[in-house]
Amino acid sequence: MRTKYSLLIGFWMAGILIPNAGLAQFISGSTGADGPLVVSMNTTLPVPEPDGVFNYTTINIASGVTLDFTPNVLNTPVYLLATGDVIVNGMINVDGKNGTGNPPVGGEGGPGGFAGGVPGISGSPSGDGKGPGAGRRGNTAGLAGRGAYGGAASGQAGDGSVYGSPLLVPLVGGSGGGGYDGQPGDGGGGGGGAVLIASDTEIVVTGTISAEGGPDPNNAGSGGGIRLVAPIVRGTGNLMVRGGSGGFGGHGRVRVDVIDRKELQLVVNPVSAYSVGGFMRVFPEPLPRIDLISVAGTAIPEGTTNAVEIFLPLNSPTAQDVVVQARDFTGMVPIRIALTPDSGPAVVEDATINMTTNPATVTVNMDFPVNTPTFVQAFTK
């Protein structure tokens, strides 16, 4: 059997109860090793390997310029940590990309987000979007589903399901829309990415932080995630997590955790994506999580944070085991495993992990698509 792996991400998507850290002095966790970040012209930064964490002293994004990112190999969210002030007068952008028919590709998710489904071409059917809220593939009329995340999409058949926590713990991005058939059809929009900005002192936003979905109206990706954590968050800037094409896809999530709310005047679009609290932890421990630890007989190292891609050649047995592990949960944990091929609909199985031990596992035998790259994902329902 020949296998090809890129990535698998297994995150706990349900709400969690974590005690408030109180009003003690907040520490973002930045080491300051990356020094100050001053963005005075349009700039694209590679997301650090392997964890996506930038360690700055201060951050200053000038008016009229945009800071973009190139995803890392694991496609982690972006973590911008600073020991001093964070000033955003321009734009920070982790939007999902549009899918296209020429070239025939699904739209990329922003960093931490999920890709759109591939289009159909020359008789080969289109594919579903990626992610826990993925839209389903559609026909030649373009009636593919749109991605969902913090909110549902616009009501089209095949739209994805809402997932995740308003706390944005764990931090995760949006899901992709489905591709649709044609000669060629069109790829689904990618889900908006995820960005966390934390400062020991304050965050000031007069510009825009954007994590919108890929914009195709027929099969838009969902909005992504934006989390701000600092003693003071102020300014009248914009936090944008709309689904693609101005809201055809489901919206994402925005979370602001702050000690002093007196100057909090940010504009969130849409406002239904917004929550505010005082959970002053950037990386809470322990954090319950789901991991794929074996796919089709090949071990996956625990903690692997991107989606597994597997290719079974012709004449391979279609029935293959998928082993999923849960850590730091209690009781019965409902999970969902999705096999999403490049071409054709996803194969989905639900299961339950009984936390009689920690960690605990379950083995699910699934029928894999043959002779097409297939992404494997596992998450809680």
pLDDT of residue 154: 83
> How would you class 332 by CB atoms within 10 Å of its CB: exposed for 0-12, middle for 13-18, buried for 19 or more?
exposed
Confidence at 311, pLDDT banded by 50, 70, 90: confident
pLDDT of residue 1: 35
pLDDT at residue 75 tops 50: yes
Better-predicted residue by pLDDT, 203 or 304: 203
Confidence at 140, pLDDT banded by 50, 70, 90: low
The structural domains of the chain, with segments of one domain joined by +, span 7-13+288-380, 20-285
Give which of 250, 246, 188, 197 is closest to 223, Cα–Cα: 250
207 phi and psi, to 5 degrees? -100, -130
Q: What is the mean pLDDT of residues 244-259?
A: 94
pLDDT of residue 305: 58
Contact between 99 and 106 (Cβ < 8 Å): yes
Confidence at 13, pLDDT banded by 50, 70, 90: very low
pLDDT of residue 5: 31
The model's pLDDT over 254-306, given as tens digits with 9 standing for 90+, comes to 999 999 999 999 999 999 999 999 999 999 988 898 999 999 988 887 766 56
The model's pLDDT over 183-195, given as tens digits with 9 standing for 90+, comes to 889 999 999 999 9
pLDDT of residue 16: 43
pLDDT of residue 244: 94
CA 116 to chain centre: 12
pLDDT of residue 304: 66
pLDDT of residue 312: 82
Q: Is 19 left (phi over 0), alpha (psi -120 to 50) or beta?
A: beta
pLDDT at residue 12 tops 80: no
pLDDT at residue 235 tops 70: yes
- The model carries a pTM of 0.90
Q: What is the mean pLDDT of residues 134-146?
A: 85
Contact between 339 and 325 (Cβ < 8 Å): no
pLDDT of residue 4: 34
Q: What is the mean pLDDT of residues 211-238?
A: 95
What average pLDDT is seen over the chain? 90
The model's pLDDT over 343-360, given as tens digits with 9 standing for 90+, comes to 889 999 999 999 999 999
pLDDT at residue 144 tops 70: yes
pLDDT at residue 148 tops 90: yes
Cβ of 123: how many Cβ atoms within 10 Å? 7
pLDDT at residue 8 tops 50: no
pLDDT of residue 124: 87
CATH 1.20.1530, applies to 7-13+288-380 = no
